[in-house]
């Protein structure tokens, strides 16, 4: 049985004349892993701060567990937000952080936290301000996982974590999510690393939602076609182009759309190269500067 955990309608956040979040509509379903993706300054963190009651919306409606999140303790108690640069009291050690965690998170699992501490080789008695960047990130990741909050946000949680530590995070997240399903929102730039963990992808750009789709639908939904310019252009003529690159007489064009078996055979017969587009590449195409250029060309044509 699944329910809707978050429902946002026309959600807007303005800072003076700058609109950080621009009338977005979306919902988050229970017990799914979401990827909240987009470039720096796209509005991801602002959205998460709105959802966790750290900011008040300028306009629109927002329901988290059926209520406005801000100033509702019963809603806030069910959420955990791990920020990019999480702050802790000056003189705390990781041991202090984990000891006080059960006050904030009713599902806190101390044994799981202990296992994670040893996985990440985190020094428990060192003061927070003496920890390395990666160790500080590990503290946040451990709090985020062991709190088992029904709605957990990880906002770029792994600054300074090496590849091994990041994979420990992915593995533990997946294992624990299977044993204790909950809603997880991952915001990250390391898209290719997390792509397979995600069930659903929400892509934000300039405060608006550009894409809100099942990860499975997104995968393989775009293809790059490369070859002699005229042949490529003829092949993509009536298809939605999202990216275009060229070098002399050669062109490489990315389209948003699946190719069927017949298209593939036709492309092979024309001598065109087909390449899959990863989630990360797709997002680069959708939010990159080449998009504006190509749509203008489209409109002019």
Partner 1 sequence: MDESRPIFIQIAEQIENDIIDGSLPEGGQIPSTNEFAAFLRVNPATALKGVTRLVDDGIVEKRRGIGMFVTIGARERLVERRRAGFAAEFLRPLIIEAEKLGIDIDELAGMLRAERIQS
Structure token pair of residue 225 = 């076609």
State yes or no: residue 263 binds partner 1 (CB under 8 A). Answer: no
Cα separation of 60 and 201, whole Å? 22
For position 216 contacting partner 1 by CB under 8 A, the verdict is yes
Query: Binding to partner 1 by residue 277, rule CB under 8 A?
Result: yes
How many helices and strands, by DSSP H and E, does the chain display? 12, 13
* Euclidean distance between CA atoms 60 and 21, whole angstroms: 11
Q: Which of 3, 89, 248, 271 binds partner 1 (CB under 8 A)?
A: 271
Q: Distance (Å, rounded) from C-alpha 202 to C-alpha 214?
A: 9
For residue 4, the minimal CB distance to partner 1 (Å) is 16
Pair of tokens at residue 50: 């709105």
Query: Binding to partner 1 by residue 71, rule CB under 8 A?
Result: no
Q: Does 265 bind partner 1 (CB under 8 A)?
A: yes
On whether the CB atoms of residues 19 and 207 are closer than 8 A, the answer is: yes
Count of residues making up the chain:
301
Residue 171 sits in the site that holds partner 1 (CB under 8 A): yes
Q: At closest approach, how far in Å is the CB of 39 from partner 1?
A: 21
- Kindly indicate which of the ranges 9-17, 44-52, 82-90, 269-277 contains the residues binding partner 1, using the contact rule CB under 8 A: 269-277
Binding residue for partner 1, selected from 170, 250, 288, 290, defined by CB under 8 A: 170
Q: What part of residues 177-206 is at the interface with partner 1 (CB under 8 A)?
A: 177-178, 196-199
Distances (CA, A) of 188 to 82, 93, 151, 158: 12, 27, 17, 9
Based on the shown chain and the rule CB under 8 A, indicate whether residue 40 belongs to the binding site for partner 1: no
Count of residues that bind partner 1 according to CB under 8 A: 26
Instruction: Rule CB under 8 A: say whether 266 interacts with partner 1.
Output: no
DSSP assignments along 160-224, one per residue: T--HHHHHHHHHHHHHHHHHS--EEEEE-S-HHHHGGG-SEEEEEETTEEEEEEEHHHHTTSEEE
Is residue 261 close enough to count as binding partner 1 by CB under 8 A? yes
Question: Could you tell me the smallest distance in angstroms from the CB atom of residue 141 to partner 1?
Answer: 17
Residues in contact with partner 1 by CB under 8 A are 32-33, 170-171, 174-175, 177-178, 196-199, 215-217, 219-220, 223, 261, 265, 268-269, 271, 276-278
């Amino acid at each position: 049985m699944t329910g809707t955990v978050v429902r946002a309608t026309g959600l807007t956040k303005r800072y003076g004349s700058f609109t950080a979040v621009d009338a977005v509509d979306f919902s988050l379903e229970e017990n799914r892993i979401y990827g909240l993706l987009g470039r720096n300054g796209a509005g991801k963190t602002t959205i998460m701060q709105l959802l966790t009651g750290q900011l008040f919306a300028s306009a629109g409606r927002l329901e988290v567990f059926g209520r406005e999140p801000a100033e509702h303790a019963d809603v806030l108690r069910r959420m955990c937000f791990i920020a990019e640069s999480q702050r802790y009291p000056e003189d705390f050690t990781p041991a202090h952080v984990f000891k006080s965690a059960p006050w904030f998170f009713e599902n806190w699992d101390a044994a799981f936290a202990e296992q994670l501490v040893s996985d990440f080789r985190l020094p428990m008695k060192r003061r927070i301000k003496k920890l390395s960047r990666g160790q500080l990130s590990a503290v946040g990741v451990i709090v985020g996982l062991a709190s088992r909050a029904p709605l957990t946000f990880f906002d770029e949680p792994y600054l300074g974590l090496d590849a091994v530590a990041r994979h420990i995070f992915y593995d533990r997240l997946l294992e624990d999510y299977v044993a204790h399903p909950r809603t997880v929102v991952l915001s990250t730039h390391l898209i290719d690393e997390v792509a397979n963990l995600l069930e659903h992808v929400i892509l934000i750009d300039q405060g608006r939602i550009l894409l809100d789709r099942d990860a499975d639908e997104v995968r393989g939904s775009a293809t790059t076609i490369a070859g002699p310019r005229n042949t490529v252009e003829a092949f993509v003529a009536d298809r939605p182009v999202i990216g275009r690159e060229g070098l002399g007489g050669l062109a490489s064009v990315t389209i948003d759309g699946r190719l069927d078996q017949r298209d593939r055979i036709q492309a092979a017969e024309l001598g065109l190269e087909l390449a899959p587009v990863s989630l990360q590449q797709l997002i680069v195409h959708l939010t990159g500067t080449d998009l504006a250029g190509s749509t203008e060309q489209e409109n002019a044509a």
